[in-house]
Homo-oligomer: A and B are copies of this chain.
Amino acid sequence: MTQIGLRDRKKVRTRRVIEDVALRLFAEQGFDATTIDQIVSEAEVSPRTFFRYFATKEDVVLADYSEQLDDILEDLSSRPFQETPWESMRAVFRTMASDPGRRSKMLPRAQMMANAPSVFARSLQLQAGWEIQLATALRARSGDKTDEISPALMAAAALGIMRAAIRRWSEQANDIDLPEFVDECFDRLNKGFGS
């Protein structure tokens, strides 16, 4: 009567092992200095198996990045409809920045991205995908169906804010309260930069 079969349990276990070993090695010797061979030999799987779980070496670092977008979209859809799209986004991103579990993963990841250009590049690529989906979601919420470009601008601006805020925060994490800082950035951008 096992709901989840042994096969699926093994899958998540293998994935976890690879992820744990890889992240540990990355932390110990750096991302670039760590090879797939090293990871798989410590994780006791074949190189081929690694790529069945992760499309690229970079994706191990950014494993939970995709889930993050799902959370954003879900939170967004549960915001009250009378709210403006911008306000909804501000609230969603503020909430996200407040989650301690999420924040604890953010710092090491930010550090890794700063030292490994390929990881940084991959994260930008993923975020570009988010931007499109986010814009689509905003467009669906918007009252003005003829305005095609504002949602795109809002999505681009929001993600740009998050990047800038997280970068600044990761450089001096002690001095800054991330949720408030994000809030302030959203506010400042919405007030414009003078005409």
Tell me if B153 and A84 are in contact (CB < 8 A): no
Q: For the complex, is A168 an interface residue (Cβ under 8 Å from B)?
A: yes
The contact of A153 among B87, B124, B128, B185, by CB within 8 Å, is: B185
Q: A153-B160, A153-B161, A161-B156 are in contact. Are A84 and B194 (CB under 8 A)?
A: yes
Residues of B within 8 Å of A117, CB to CB, are 125
Are B189 and A157 interface neighbours, CB within 8 A?
Answer: yes
Specify which chain B residues have a CB less than 8 angstroms from the CB of A153 in the assembled complex: 160-161, 164, 185, 188-189
- Complex: how many Å from CA A157 to CA B158? 9
Q: How would residues 166 to 195 of chain A score, 1 for a CB under 8 Å from any chain B CB and 0 otherwise?
A: 011000000000000000110011111111
In chain A between 76 and 93, which residues have their CB closer than 8 angstroms to a CB of chain B?
84-87
Does A163 count as interface, using CB distance less than 8 angstroms? yes
Interchain CB contact (< 8 A) of A195 among B149, B190, B194 = B190
Report how far A23 CA is from B190 CA in the complex, Å. Answer: 42
Residue A57 is within 8 A (CB to CB) of chain B in the complex: no
The answer to the question of A154 belonging to the interface, with a C-beta cut-off of 8 Å to chain B, is yes
Contacts of A194 in B (CB 8 A): 84-87
| Residues of B with C-beta under 8 A to A165 | 149
Closest chain B CB from A79 CB (angstroms): 14
Among residues 106 to 158 in chain A, which have CB atoms less than 8 Å away from a CB atom of chain B?
A: 117, 120-122, 124-125, 128, 148-150, 152-154, 156-157
